[in-house]
Structure 1
Amino acid sequence: MLTAIVTAAAAASFGSAIVATDAAVLRASPRDSAPQQAQLWQGEVLEVRGERLDYLQVWDHARERGGYVRASQVRRTALTAGEAPDLLAILRFLREAPGAESLGIGVAAAWLQAAPAEVVRGAAGAEVLEILGSFAERLAQRASAGAGHGRQQALSAHMEVASRYGVKFASYEREGKVRICYDGEAFRRVLAGAATPEQKARAALALTQPECVDPALTPAKRRAVNEWRAQVLDRVETTSLPPYVKNRVAMRRAAVWSTVAYEQARFGEIAQAPAERALAELASVQRSELAEEDQAAWNDAVIRVNASRWAAVPAVAPVRDARPVVITQAGQPGETCVLLVDAKHDAANPLARRCTYGLVWPQSASLNREGNALTLAVQAMEAWRELWVFRRKGREWTLDVLPPASLQPETGYAEFAGWVPGGQQVLVAREARAEGRWRRSFEVVSLESLVTQRQSNEAGALGPFQRWSDPGWKRMSVSVR
């Protein structure tokens, strides 16, 4: 990417002009009444070939066309080392100017061409690369959000200007929406260069956004990408970071390591270490230093970590006796079959049987004291865990699934939280983000109908949760926080 940026700026090395406004027009002669040759967009670089009146005579290499542009609508630069400080000052100002991303990219290109090589390799170079990456990332976010009819042309033009400098974007479709993502080349160079810990932290966070992982990747490639994300985050030294930035790194690490745990388990590997790492990173977050805008990221990290937390608990072989237990066996390719068995009903004649392509956590199985109900955690996706409820009705056993939410799933979990004595109720904790809404609830659920009888967004507000919460759930779950 940097070679392309330098090449674009070098094309105008005999005198350059960076277009500073979207209102600039390339005209056939130095008059407002002259025919319009092209609409120019902020950030474009032109080669200056002369001056006439209050116009510059320029050559547009992108369109292979010459013409005149008002001098007040461009910034001239000779791309010399002496101009580098001024260009850096402009970059620092534009960094906080929404809508000026393509102009900022053009100024960054000019600085990279003007600054001496030793300066580019130093602290100033790391700063410019981070600013350049932030421009590209913000432009991608604007493109993902879309624009009104009047601004869509400008947004498309700004994306095209950025691409001329070698800035690359990728687009991914998720649930009917298109997400535009910057490929992160500038941020990779920040991580490899003489950047401060805070600059490296921001670069690592930009490179590891979950929304920018290609959803079309195969499981093996997706696993490799997520392990790379974990490695990138581990390169950040957090000791000297401001607490709110340290929190952001810890939350992202927790989310990524929970995904790594899920994927390792999907490949049949022991995933205890990454799951424990995810829990530890989440526990390191200082809630008192959590920025208001990071609340959604905190909730997302909690959901992801809790969805995979059973990987941190070693699996043990079930003890076969008169009481029902859960065993698993392979089904069709990729399937796991769950069998409920007891002393009189073996795998060939189970009490109940269901197969799933989800990840079954046998160590989560919990049978109530009365022996008429059993719960099991099944993780359908990396951040979506369901609660399977086996119930005995007469001599027959049935199986029902409690999802985290009834809406279109994004992330969430539903989990067993305890048995109410009497064999009539079960305590369930649910948390989910679905269709853009986040919700957490603690529920007392009827075993007869699986209808929620009582619920609250705080576990302590319900008497059954105060008296009958399962000790293992209180110890391991992050739903109570």
Structure 2
Amino acid sequence: MFSTLSTIAASSLIAIVTQDQAALRASPRESAQQQVVLWQGDSLEIRGERMDYLQVYDHRRERAGFIKASQVRLVRTEADGAAESMSVIRFLRDTPGSEALGISYSAAYLKAAPANQINAEIFDALGSMAERLARRSTNLQAQTGSTKPNKQMETAIAAHLEVATYYGVQFKSFEREGRIQLCYDGEAFRRVLAMNASDEQKARAALALTRSECIDPATRPLEKSAIDTWRADVLDRVETSKLPEQLKNRIKMRKATVWSAIAFQRARKAENKDEMNKDVQAAGNRAVLELASINKEELSDEDKLSYTDTGIRAGTSRWAAELAIQNKSTLKIVTSAGEPGETCVHLIDAKHDLKNPLAKRCTYSVVWPHSARANTHSTALTLAVQPMESWRELWLFHQTSNGWIIDVLPPANTDPQLGYVEFAGWVPATNKMLVAREAKVDGVFKRRFEVINMDTLQAENGADNPSSLSTFYKWQDAIWKSQTLSLR
């Protein structure tokens, strides 16, 4: 501590608050009136010293006062103080709950360090702390959504966000699944990608900038397509050959997620079959290949959840990667253009053509015609239809006493979030078929293999594994088994 006012005034020092709810008082006494409440990361101008208090000025709140010296750390903003600040930053960058303090030290370092000494490390650390702070805020809302909110924790995180914003760290927020999603805008990570950074630093930056949950759900389709193309380019620029297996897996999972979204978008924009067969298939293949190249032995518990999420997303768009299979049935699917952006699906046979179909339905979803599978007696046919990039349904065309009808099987009985359902086989001489479902329901991943009654669309039996269900195991379709991602 400094003994005279002149010593303090002559030095380039700032005081950084290290404790939450530190009091800025009107005089250097515990009993003095409290001016404001300070939080970790707040920086103060030092104007003097009295007893065990520092006389300071808070520029953010435009308030002067006294704070206990034990509640702050003095940081030099000259070049000789940069190394010390960086040592603290290296410790704080991986310390949960200290993000605001770390961001404050980062600001002090950037002010003190000569320009030729500033490298990617500081921006990697700054971005990591800002992203973790945003995650903490979002996760707190998820944890307290159905319980009594933790007001003290909510207040602390809100204060830490204000501190970070004061230093120029920007966050964006939007509503997702009934709660507010908060995300760091990624400015520090963009700087990392533009600098001479290590492969690991670039990988962390790419992962932070390409998070699916940080894309506004209200983004328009064309804008979303441009964002996903940019995400794919960012990920492809990362050299993965020398990365640790865990980080390499995360890059591959993110690539699979992005390319499955691109496959859906290309299919929706395709104007002819040649585009569908070429560009869409290329994107679908990338998604499947990236998923297949993941080293499952090196997945942490957290990464296993991400792997399941990735598998469902890739599985939702997997028909983009599949080639058309010769259909020997008399039942066939033919599509035609309806209203702008609409696709009309016609079920035809030898006696019913496009003008007089057995059944017809129009949709704004992506229809995968080559997914059509008819049963032996040509009394039923299934078709994969994808309304969203993360949600695929199964249309069931089946003959009844009143003629042909079309029923829709969803992945789950919830609002469309993440999931798919697919045909897995016919049970001979019955009105039953086999389906596989994967979905995320209320934050929980569920996978089921079921025997469906086509008359009622109810599952008569089901299991988490095909081998646990004798009917499913016996009659599962060989082509489905060779193509599905549900058995990964």
TM surpasses 0.5: yes
Whether the 8 Å CA contact 2:329–2:376 is kept in 1: the answer is no
Q: What is aligned with 2:294?
A: 285
Q: What is aligned with 2:5?
A: none
Name which of 134, 137, 149 aligns with 1:140: 134
Q: Residue 229 of structure 1 aligns to which amino acid in structure 2?
A: R
Greater CA deviation, 247-256 or 454-463?
454-463
Q: What 5-or-longer segments of structure 1 have no aligned partner?
A: 1-11
What TM-score, normalized to structure 1? Answer: 0.92
CA distance in 2: counterparts of 1:411 and 1:438, whole angstroms: 9
Task: Kindly provide the CA deviation profile for residues 9-47 of structure 1, in whole angstroms up to 9, marking residues without a partner as x.
Answer: xxx984211111123222222222332222111111111
CA-CA distance at 1:314 after TM superposition:
4.3
Task: Kindly provide the CA deviation profile for residues 82-103 of structure 1, in whole angstroms up to 9, marking residues without a partner as x.
Answer: 2222212212222232221111
Name which of 258, 267, 271 aligns with 1:256: 258
Matching of residue 425 in structure 1 with residue 427 in structure 2: no
CA-CA distance at 1:465 after TM superposition:
3.6
Q: What is aligned with 2:364?
A: 357
Q: What is aligned with 1:401?
A: 408
CA distance in 2: counterparts of 1:254 and 1:129, whole angstroms: 27
Name which of 375, 382, 407 aligns with 2:389: 382
CA distance in 2: counterparts of 1:198 and 1:299, whole angstroms: 24
Q: What is aligned with 1:26?
A: 24
Whether the 8 Å CA contact 1:15–1:49 is kept in 2: the answer is no
Question: Given the superposition, is the C-alpha separation of residues 417 and 102 from structure 1 closer, same or farther in structure 2, using an over 3 Å criterion?
Answer: same
Matching of residue 296 in structure 1 with residue 290 in structure 2: no
CA-CA distance at 1:161 after TM superposition:
0.8
CA distance in 2: counterparts of 1:243 and 1:100, whole angstroms: 28
Whether the 8 Å CA contact 1:261–1:272 is kept in 2: the answer is yes
CA-CA distance at 1:344 after TM superposition:
1.9
Matching of residue 111 in structure 1 with residue 104 in structure 2: no
CA distance in 2: counterparts of 1:465 and 1:477, whole angstroms: 15
Q: What is aligned with 2:474?
A: 467
Whether the 8 Å CA contact 2:329–2:378 is kept in 1: the answer is no
Q: What is aligned with 1:7?
A: none
Whether the 8 Å CA contact 1:409–1:434 is kept in 2: the answer is no
CA distance in 1: counterparts of 2:21 and 2:180, whole angstroms: 29
CA-CA distance at 1:140 after TM superposition:
0.9
Q: Residue 123 of structure 2 aligns to which amino acid in structure 1?
A: L
What is the SS of the residue equivalent to 1:170?
strand
Q: What is aligned with 2:39?
A: 41
Q: Residue 56 of structure 2 aligns to which amino acid in structure 1?
A: V
Matching of residue 170 in structure 1 with residue 208 in structure 2: no
Matching of residue 338 in structure 1 with residue 338 in structure 2: no
CA-CA distance at 1:362 after TM superposition:
0.4
CA distance in 1: counterparts of 2:136 and 2:296, whole angstroms: 30
Q: What 5-or-longer segments of structure 2 have no aligned partner?
A: 1-9, 142-148
Q: Residue 44 of structure 1 aligns to which amino acid in structure 2?
A: D
Q: What is aligned with 2:373?
A: 366
Q: Residue 218 of structure 1 aligns to which amino acid in structure 2?
A: R
What is the SS of the residue equivalent to 2:417?
strand
Matching of residue 131 in structure 1 with residue 89 in structure 2: no
Name which of 67, 70, 86 aligns with 2:68: 70
Q: What is aligned with 2:459?
A: 452
Name which of 181, 203, 206 aligns with 1:204: 206
CA-CA distance at 1:423 after TM superposition:
4.8
Q: What is aligned with 1:56?
A: 54
CA distance in 1: counterparts of 2:301 and 2:368, whole angstroms: 35
Question: Given the superposition, is the C-alpha separation of residues 430 and 13 from structure 1 closer, same or farther in structure 2, using an over 3 Å criterion?
Answer: farther
What is the SS of the residue equivalent to 2:133?
helix
Whether the 8 Å CA contact 1:408–1:435 is kept in 2: the answer is no
Name which of 216, 232, 257 aligns with 1:230: 232
Q: Residue 226 of structure 1 aligns to which amino acid in structure 2?
A: D
Task: Kindly provide the CA deviation profile for residues 230-279 of structure 1, in whole angstroms up to 9, marking residues without a partner as x.
Answer: 11111111111111221111111101100011111111253111110000
Task: Kindly provide the CA deviation profile for residues 353-404 of structure 1, in whole angstroms up to 9, marking residues without a partner as x.
Answer: 1111211100100111111110000011101111111111247111111111
CA distance in 1: counterparts of 2:378 and 2:21, whole angstroms: 75
What TM-score, normalized to structure 2? Answer: 0.91
Greater CA deviation, 92-101 or 215-224?
92-101
What is the SS of the residue equivalent to 1:361?
strand
CA-CA distance at 1:315 after TM superposition:
5.4
Q: Residue 213 of structure 1 aligns to which amino acid in structure 2?
A: I
What is the SS of the residue equivalent to 1:87?
helix
What is the SS of the residue equivalent to 1:256?
helix
Q: Residue 448 of structure 1 aligns to which amino acid in structure 2?
A: D
What is the SS of the residue equivalent to 1:444?
strand
CA distance in 2: counterparts of 1:158 and 1:322, whole angstroms: 64
Question: Given the superposition, is the C-alpha separation of residues 368 and 47 from structure 1 closer, same or farther in structure 2, using an over 3 Å criterion?
Answer: same
CA distance in 1: counterparts of 2:212 and 2:64, whole angstroms: 44
Greater CA deviation, 444-453 or 430-439?
444-453
Q: What is aligned with 2:217?
A: 215
Percent identity, aligned pairs only, is 53
Whether the 8 Å CA contact 1:190–1:203 is kept in 2: the answer is yes
Whether the 8 Å CA contact 2:93–2:125 is kept in 1: the answer is yes
Q: What is aligned with 2:423?
A: 416
CA distance in 2: counterparts of 1:214 and 1:323, whole angstroms: 45
Whether the 8 Å CA contact 1:365–1:375 is kept in 2: the answer is yes
Task: Kindly provide the CA deviation profile for residues 280-309 of structure 1, in whole angstroms up to 9, marking residues without a partner as x.
Answer: 000001111111111111111111111111
Q: What is aligned with 2:316?
A: 307
What is the SS of the residue equivalent to 1:107?
helix
Question: Given the superposition, is the C-alpha separation of residues 399 and 82 from structure 1 closer, same or farther in structure 2, using an over 3 Å criterion?
Answer: same
What is the SS of the residue equivalent to 2:413?
coil
CA distance in 1: counterparts of 2:19 and 2:367, whole angstroms: 57
Q: Residue 292 of structure 2 aligns to which amino acid in structure 1?
A: A
What is the SS of the residue equivalent to 2:473?
helix
CA distance in 2: counterparts of 1:91 and 1:326, whole angstroms: 61
CA distance in 2: counterparts of 1:202 and 1:322, whole angstroms: 51
Q: What is aligned with 1:15?
A: 13
CA-CA distance at 1:338 after TM superposition:
1.0
Greater CA deviation, 368-377 or 81-90?
81-90
CA distance in 1: counterparts of 2:72 and 2:305, whole angstroms: 41
CA distance in 2: counterparts of 1:101 and 1:83, whole angstroms: 20
Whether the 8 Å CA contact 2:75–2:85 is kept in 1: the answer is no
Q: What is aligned with 1:8?
A: none
